[in-house]
Structures are given as structure tokens and as C-alpha cells.
């Protein structure tokens, strides 16, 4: 059985790497939040920030961590079919622009969580990236 758990119940190298990456991602995100709170104007989510959140989540687990996917994907066990990879840069840019229309942080967080998971812009780690970005 793959994947890591919060109790550290496995020493599978992939699971260990995923857990280490989660901690690195969380530490980096805390610094981003700290900087945004202490240095107005308000934080704006960028493609570079999304890429770094993804890189931290999947570093050492995929060939191109933090880079937008360059192939079509199929999500196992889901009826959702992510858009073709050629549309991903435009869809991500539109999502980032749409964030400016959200007046409440909770609306922006919900939108980013849904939209990143719908677009599936990265090879892997989209859920981890979406949760961190939200």
C-alpha cells in the first residue's frame, strides 16, 4: 500500500519523501504568509508561487517538479477529464486573473482549490498544490 500517513507508519522511500516534501512545503508557505502579512499590499498568487508550491510537494518524485504539464493526463478513479495540456497555461493565467474579482479571502481560497484541481496543471501533486495555494 502506497502513500504516507500522519503516524509515520511506513518507511517506504516514496512515502518518506512525500512526508519530507510536505514539511518543506509547509515551512515555505508559512514564510510566504508571514511576508504577505507584514509587507502590504496584499499578497497576489502568481504562476511562480504555484510552481514553487508544486515543486516542494513533488521534488524527487516526478521528472519536472514545479513545471506545468506537457502531456495529457487521466485521473484514476475520476470521471473528470482534465483539459488538454496545451490549454493549461491559458487556464492558469485566467484563474490567476479571476482571483482579483474575489473580494473575500474565503471565496478566493475556495475558487483556487477547485480551479487548480479542475485544471490539473502539474504532472502530479495537484491536490497538495491546490490545498497549499488555497
Residue 1 confidence (pLDDT): 37
Closest CA to 29 of 41, 43, 19: 43
Between 48 and 41, the more confident residue is 48
Residue at 94 is within a domain: yes
pLDDT tens-digit profile of 100-116? 899 898 999 999 999 99
Between 3 and 26, the more confident residue is 26
Residue at 5 is within a domain: no
Into how many domains does the chain fold?
A: 1
Q: How would DSSP label each residue in 34-61?
A: HHHHHS-S-----HHHHHHHHHHHHTTT
| Strand blocks (E) in the chain | none
Between 70 and 11, the more confident residue is 70
Residue at 45 is within a domain: yes
What percent of the chain stands above pLDDT 70?
Answer: 92
Residue at 30 is within a domain: yes
- 64 neighbors 88 (Cβ within 8 angstroms): no
Residue at 95 is within a domain: yes
Left (φ > 0), alpha (ψ -120 to 50) or beta: where does 75 sit? Answer: beta
Residue at 54 is within a domain: yes
Average pLDDT over residues 15-39: 94
Residues 6+ apart with CB under 8 A from 132: 25, 26, 29, 53, 57
Task: Provide the CATH number for the domain around residue 27.
Answer: 1.10.3290.10
Residue at 3 is within a domain: no
pLDDT at 69 over 70: yes
Residue at 83 is within a domain: yes
Which domain, by its residues, includes 94?
A: 13-133
For residue 31, the tally of other CB atoms under 10 A from its CB is 9
Amino acid at each position: 500500500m502506497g502513500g504516507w500517513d500522519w503516524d509515520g507508519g511506513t518507511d517506504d522511500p516514496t512515502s518518506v519523501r512525500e512526508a519530507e516534501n510536505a514539511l518543506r512545503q509547509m515551512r515555505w508557505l508559512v514564510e510566504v504568509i508571514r511576508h504577505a502579512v507584514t509587507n502590504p499590499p496584499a499578497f497576489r498568487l502568481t504562476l511562480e508561487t504555484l510552481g514553487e508550491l508544486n515543486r516542494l510537494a513533488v521534488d524527487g518524485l516526478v521528472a519536472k517538479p514545479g513545471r506545468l504539464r506537457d502531456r495529457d493526463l487521466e485521473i484514476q478513479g475520476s470521471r473528470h477529464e482534465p483539459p488538454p495540456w496545451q490549454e493549461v497555461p491559458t487556464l492558469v493565467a485566467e484563474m490567476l486573473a479571476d482571483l482579483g474579482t474575489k473580494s473575500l479571502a474565503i471565496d478566493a481560497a475556495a475558487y483556487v482549490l477547485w480551479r487548480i484541481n479542475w485544471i490539473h496543471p502539474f504532472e502530479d501533486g495537484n491536490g497538495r498544490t491546490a490545498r497549499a495555494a488555497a
